[in-house]
A and B are shown apart, each in its own frame.
Chain A
Amino acid sequence: MIILEDVHYSYDGVYTALRGISLQVDDGERFAVIGANGAGKTTMIKHMNGLLRPQKGRVILDGQDTKFMSVAEIAREVGLVFQNPDHQLFLDSVKKEVEFGLRNIGFTESEAEQRRQKTLASLGLEGFAERSPFTLSGGERKRVALASVLSTEPRFLALDEPTIGQDAHQKNQLAQMLAEMNKRGRTVVVVTHDIEFVIENFPRTVAMADGQIIADGSTSMVLSNDEVIERCALAPPQMTLAARALRNVFPEVGQRLTLLSELEETIIGILGGA
């Protein structure tokens, strides 16, 4: 379990990036963190793996105050994938990049190779092992960065904008992989602007604005809140806009978060069945 207790942080002593974050992350949870650029999302998850230390408040990992733990100790439990893969990748082949972390935490050469192959395949990166990350596209580099952390399968996974540059198919692959790890008991936290990805994959959503948490609860509840949509600089999903426009003419159309299949049935209903 990770507990953030009234965490404050400022990068320069003038502008406060986090102003009193309190949050409990239970083992085996799966949740999304949303918010506008500059809301403090990245700063918050960097506190979860000890890259940043609170200037006021505490971060407690499995009952232990992380103040007394090294980054290496925390990182063994909490794996973080950065938003920009270029901040993370540094070796000259995809293979080395992914096996580096595995060897580091004590896997044997053959175990590391096996895990590397399996993870690359799950992320659609078969055949990339010998490539240099720097010859890959942005979306591919992002998946290599994900692979290097996901392959180690830490107890807590914190992913900063994992869907950037990924197409619909690759997003599904990633969602599936995260769901499988979650089933095996891993805790998954994602920071994202991708509302469709949140709706489809994460039961809990934490909304941040101006360095504070402004809502925390079930995804459908948090995303039905107009203040959250506004302060998190979210665009209402297309399905919500369609439902809203339909509601003006057909009052029977429901007033809440709408899934694609629901809208489909609603339209069939309006048009008198097919």
Chain B
Amino acid sequence: MALIEFADFSFKYLGADSLALKRIKLTIDEGEYVVITGPSGCGKTTFCRAINALVPQFHRGYVAGNVYTDGKNTRENEVATFASVAGLVFQNPENQLVTLDVEKEIAFGPENLGVAPNEIRRRVEELIELLDLEELREKHPHEMSGGEQQRVAIAATLALKPKVLVADEPTSNLDPQSAEAILKIIAHLNKRGMAVVLVEHRLDLVAKDASRIILMNKGRIVADGNPREILAMDLCEEIGVGVPKATQVYKRLRTRGVELGTVPLTGVELAELVQEATSR
């Protein structure tokens, strides 16, 4: 059974004149690292919300087709059912934090679900270690930097032991080094077996970690596959996807008759390919 299945799912927000999602059909399996990208307004955020039933149960509108998360239909089960399956993290961590300190913040979700106190205690300590939050233990969320707040928000999400982490542009308000730290954590969680669905424009930062890239445009999925295959497509430039600079150089060289073989995703990969080409 797929972890997430979109079965011909369409959605239109109340009051909107066009569909936010149009006949989406796909499955996401355990352990995958899926990056969703596309022009703003293409339906990426709606896609994320549909995974944990926020669409259509909290954000209402016209619905056709179904989404099954962990085998459960998101139209037929309560939103709370999905909180412990799909953990959502958003762009603005300050909008997500609800309590006054790190431990309470992490414990908040499991307490609401009635998890036993000693189990909560155990999860809190494990997550403080995993996300390196020891120094923040006594800090009020509003005294923390954006990167620190986002780490706490991720910890609070993970406290519910979700099977998939769904992150909607989690680093776009952060400086590049804080962003990199968050993305490292997400890649690490994926290596430990957690599925990841990440919405991101800046493919320079994430393409190397992803096992799959899904390109959306105007509510539809227009390409879906291995990052190197997808980013080599001209379609990316046509719809305005931010292809990594190293991949852009590869494509420009290709039009001039220089074929580097593999599609590079980072500057270092590009440099390695050039070295290999000279030693051939």
* A232 touching B242 in the complex, CB below 8 Å, given contacts A132-B15, A137-B40: no
* A241 touching B266 in the complex, CB below 8 Å, given contacts A168-B241, A264-B253, A267-B258: yes
Bound: A132/B15 CA distance, A: 9
B242 touching A268, Cβ below 8 Å: no
Chain A at the B interface: mostly helix, strand, loop or mixed? helix
Residues of B within 8 A of A105 (CB): none
Residues of A within 8 A of B91 (CB): 138, 164-165
B175 touching A135, Cβ below 8 Å: no
The residue in B147, B174, B267 that gathers the most chain A C-beta atoms within 10 A of its C-beta is: B267
A101 interface residue per 8 A CB criterion? no
Bound: A239/B249 CA distance, A: 9
Number of interface residues of A (CB under 8 A): 50
Q: Pick from A132, A166, A242, A246: contact of B40, CB below 8 A.
A: A166
A222 interface residue per 8 A CB criterion? no
B92 interface residue per 8 A CB criterion? yes
B114 interface residue per 8 A CB criterion? no
Task: Say which size band chain B's interface belongs to.
Answer: 35 or more
Q: Mark A164-196, 1 if CB is under 8 A from B, else 0.
A: 111111100000000000000000000001011
Q: Mark B177-191, 1 if CB is under 8 A from A, else 0.
A: 111100000000000
B270 touching A242, Cβ below 8 Å: yes
Bound: A143/B39 CA distance, A: 13
Write the nearest CB–CB distance from B240 to chain A, whole angstroms. 3
Q: Pick from A169, A235, A237, A244: contact of B245, CB below 8 A.
A: A237
Q: Mark A238-274, 1 if CB is under 8 A from B, else 0.
A: 1111111110010000000000100110011011001
- Residue of A at shortest CB range from B44? A137
Q: Pick from B41, B146, B172, B179: contact of A136, CB below 8 A.
A: B41
B268 touching A241, Cβ below 8 Å: yes
Q: Pick from B13, B145, B175, B246: contact of A193, CB below 8 A.
A: B175
* A164 touching B40 in the complex, CB below 8 Å, given contacts A135-B16, A170-B240, A246-B274: no
A233 interface residue per 8 A CB criterion? yes
Q: Mark B114-152, 1 if CB is under 8 A from A, else 0.
A: 000000000000000000000000000000011100000
User: When A and B form their complex, which 3 residue pairs have the shortest distance between CB atoms, in order from nearest?
Assistant: A139-B40, A169-B240, A242-B267
Q: List 27 A-B contacts (CB under 8 A).
A: A35-B175, A37-B178, A135-B14, A138-B40, A138-B91, A138-B169, A164-B91, A165-B40, A165-B169, A165-B172, A167-B241, A168-B241, A169-B39, A170-B39, A233-B175, A233-B177, A234-B177, A238-B246, A238-B267, A242-B267, A245-B267, A245-B272, A246-B271, A263-B249, A264-B252, A267-B249, A271-B258
A residues near B (Cβ < 8 Å) are: 35-38, 83-84, 131-132, 135-140, 142-143, 161, 164-170, 193, 195-196, 232-235, 237-246, 249, 260, 263-264, 267-268, 270-271, 274
